[in-house]
């Protein structure tokens, strides 16, 4: 586990802000599509530091062994970019409902949090199908944007991103923006799209929406091995809550996909 220090805070939209970080080990990390990592946010009056143990098991055991009132909050994020030892992460701001959003809304240059990862063990290549489909909400936008930047202009793609309203749109070419303020939702718009069975699909965002879209594409005949999916958040639960049966089933399927 390493520490990250904030080097800049830049508002992107009313509900998203971009933070850059420096810290030990970032310069040695490579880059790959859809890099994911754990961020640790200190509780009031506490530190984000856990352990310098190098392996996952030892580090996580040390984390769980901490008294609950001292243990940092841990949340999963996707890297927006990692260049020359500078890590960029975009945070969705949704008030004080979660420790990550609350911290990011008040972050200042010099603030320190912890990180674990990203690990190349979880790297997955983009599909080789003629058509690539990307769909997610604002929590998936950093991942989608970074994936799109890897595609040559000649690669066919369909991109769907659900956000609160037009003010949340970003400069990401080719996106079909879906606005909740207009009564739209990701699942309805994506399931109405014309997608062939030989497409490659990437899905991210709220867990139940991701599951619904995955079922839709499997029903269209898209091979399960050609669907990358991740439920980033749960509508009524946080990452501190125990996993549901659906969460466990999703985790098993993702593990199975990584081993193929």
Residue 91: the pLDDT is: 97
Is the previous residue joined to 118 through a cis bond, with omega within 30 degrees of 0?
A: yes
Q: Which domains does the chain have, with CATH numbers?
A: 2-118 (2.40.30.10), 124-259 (3.40.50.80)
Task: Tell me what pLDDT residue 9 has.
Answer: 98
What does the pLDDT profile of the chain (260 residues) look like in tens digits? 789 999 999 999 999 999 999 999 999 988 888 899 999 999 988 888 776 545 555 777 888 888 888 899 999 999 999 999 999 999 999 866 689 999 999 999 999 999 998 988 878 888 999 999 999 999 999 999 999 998 999 999 999 999 999 999 999 999 999 999 999 999 999 999 999 999 999 999 999 999 999 999 999 999 999 999 999 987 655 555 455 556 455 556 655 554 54
Pairing status of strand 2-13 against strand 200-206: unpaired
Identify which of 142, 116, 133, 154 has the alpha carbon closest to the alpha carbon of residue 33. 142
Most distant CA atoms of the chain, gap in Å:
53
20 contacts 8 by C-beta, under 8 angstroms: yes
Q: Decide if 113 contacts 40 (C-beta within 8 A).
A: yes
Dihedral sign, Cα of residue 67, residue 37, residue 60, residue 228: positive
DSSP-assigned states of every residue in 35-56: -EEEEEEPPTT--S-----SSH
- Which of helix, strand or coil describes residue 1? coil
pLDDT at res. 188: 98
Distance CA 10, CA 134 (A): 26
Determine the Cα–Cα distance for residues 208 and 247; give it in Å rounded to an integer.
10
CB 43 within 8 A of CB 70: yes
Note the pLDDT of residue 245.
58
Q: Please enumerate, as own/partner, the contacts of 6-9 that have beta carbons within 8 Å and a separation of 24 or more.
A: 6/107, 6/108, 6/109, 6/110, 6/111, 6/112, 6/113, 7/86, 7/109, 8/109, 9/107, 9/108, 9/109
Q: Count CB-CB contacts under 10 A for residue 101.
A: 19
Q: Dihedral, CA atoms, 152, 128, 130, 173, nearest 10 degrees?
A: -40
């Amino acid at each position: 586990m390493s520490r990250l220090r904030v080097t800049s805070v830049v508002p992107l939209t009313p509900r998203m802000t971009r933070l850059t970080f420096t810290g030990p080990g970032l310069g040695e990390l490579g880059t790959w599509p859809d890099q994911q990592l754990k961020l640790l946010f200190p509780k009031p009056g506490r530190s984000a530091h856990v352990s310098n143990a190098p392996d996952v098991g030892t580090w996580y055991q040390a984390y769980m062994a901490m008294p609950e009132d001292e243990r940092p909050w841990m949340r999963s994020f996707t890297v927006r970019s990692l260049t020359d030892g500078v890590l960029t992460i975009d945070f969705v701001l949704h008030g004080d409902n979660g420790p990550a959003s609350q911290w990011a809304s008040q972050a200042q240059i010099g603030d320190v949090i912890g990180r674990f990862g990203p690990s190349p063990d979880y790297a997955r290549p983009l599909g080789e199908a003629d058509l690539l489909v990307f769909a997610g909400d604002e929590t998936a936008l950093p991942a989608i944007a970074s994936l799109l930047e890897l595609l040559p202009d000649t690669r066919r793609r369909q991109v769907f991103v659900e956000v609160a309203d037009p003010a949340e749109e970003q400069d990401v070419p080719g996106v079909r923006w879906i606005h909740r303020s207009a009564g739209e939702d990701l699942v309805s718009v994506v399931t109405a799209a014309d997608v062939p069975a030989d497409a490659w699909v990437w899905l991210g965002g709220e867990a139940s929406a991701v599951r619904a879209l995955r079922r839709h594409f499997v029903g269209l005949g898209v091979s399960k091995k050609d669907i990358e999916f991740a439920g980033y958040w749960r509508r009524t639960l946080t990452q501190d809550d125990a996993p549901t049966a659906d969460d466990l089933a999703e985790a098993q399927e993702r593990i199975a996909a990584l081993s193929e």
